């Protein structure tokens, strides 16, 4: 199999191809540039290539992030958007990292960092396939709890919208939300809102009392 066919097959399999990926196959990295110039690959970031039309702008950002910072977890507004739980649009990708000293050394995708540690970092991590790239994203319940934890960053209105959407869509149970709140240490903050939203949700879905003759 010639180098072009092998590289394109690798791109189809992995979603994003880097110079070190082709070198691991015994192919000089210069072939990536040749395929890019010929239009067989598009450059989606520095040293990152994909098949034309294979990635949307959103998935490019998430896939590139996962490639550059594999231990990061997509969180807050970006995670809400991923789970379709918000009307907010952010120009930055929100991620949680455990390393307190790490700072991004690249311009794309633009990042918004929060730093977590221990169980607050590891709890609720899901792995999703985004165009054949594994992206780590917090679960809906964990994301809602994080929004209350970082309400000064994202806004209380965002946290409340996320809570309502998560319950109404059934993407997390009340028990799951309470567990996430305990992990994030925001039970006292979330309690009045969660109780109110739960009561409103239940009142809308409960059948009306039968009338007496």
- Domain residue limits, the chain: 3-50, 57-203
pLDDT at position 57, please?
A: 59
3-class secondary structure per residue, the chain: CCHHHHHHHHHHHHCCECHHHHHHCCCCCHHHHHHHHCCCCEEEECCEEECCCCCCHHHHHHHHHHHHCCCCEECHHHHHHHCCCCCCCCCCEEEEECCCCCCCCCCCCCEEEEECCHHHHHCCEEEEEECCEEEEEECHHHHHHHHHHCHHHHCHHHHHHHHHHHHHHCCCCHHHHHHHHHHHCCHHHHHHHHHHHHHHHHHHHCCCCCCCC
Predicted local distance difference test score (pLDDT) of residue 203 = 55
Identify the pLDDT of residue 207: 52
pTM recorded for the entire structure? 0.71
Residue 212 pLDDT: 44
The pLDDT assigned to 70 comes to 87
Query: What pLDDT does 187 receive?
Result: 95
Task: Encode pLDDT of 85-102 as tens digits.
Answer: 988 877 789 999 987 777
Residue-level pLDDT at 181: 96
pLDDT of residue 195: 85
What local confidence, expressed as pLDDT, does residue 116 receive? 94
Which ranges of the chain have pLDDT less than 50?
206, 208-209, 211-213
């Amino acid at each position: 199999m010639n180098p072009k066919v092998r590289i394109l097959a690798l791109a189809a399999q992995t979603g994003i191809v880097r110079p070190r990926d082709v070198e691991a196959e015994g192919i000089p990295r210069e072939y990536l540039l040749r395929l890019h110039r010929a239009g067989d690959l598009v450059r989606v970031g520095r040293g990152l290539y994909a098949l034309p039309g294979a990635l949307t702008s959103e998935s490019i950002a998430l896939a590139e992030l996962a490639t550059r910072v594999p231990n990061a977890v997509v969180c807050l507004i970006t995670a809400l958007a991923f789970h379709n739980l918000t009307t907010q649009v952010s120009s930055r990708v929100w991620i949680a990292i455990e390393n307190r000293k790490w700072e991004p050394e690249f311009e794309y995708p633009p990042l918004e960092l929060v730093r977590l540690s221990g169980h607050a970092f590891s709890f609720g991590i899901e792995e999703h396939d985004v165009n054949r790239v594994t992206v780590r994203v917090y679960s809906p319940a964990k994301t809602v709890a994080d929004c209350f934890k970082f309400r000064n960053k994202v806004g209380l209105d965002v946290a409340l919208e996320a809570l309502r959407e998560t319950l109404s869509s059934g993407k997390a149970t009340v028990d799951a939300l309470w567990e996430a709140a305990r992990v994030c240490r925001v039970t006292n903050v979330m309690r009045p809102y969660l109780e109110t939203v739960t009561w409103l949700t239940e009142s809308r879905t409960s059948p009306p009392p039968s009338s007496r003759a």
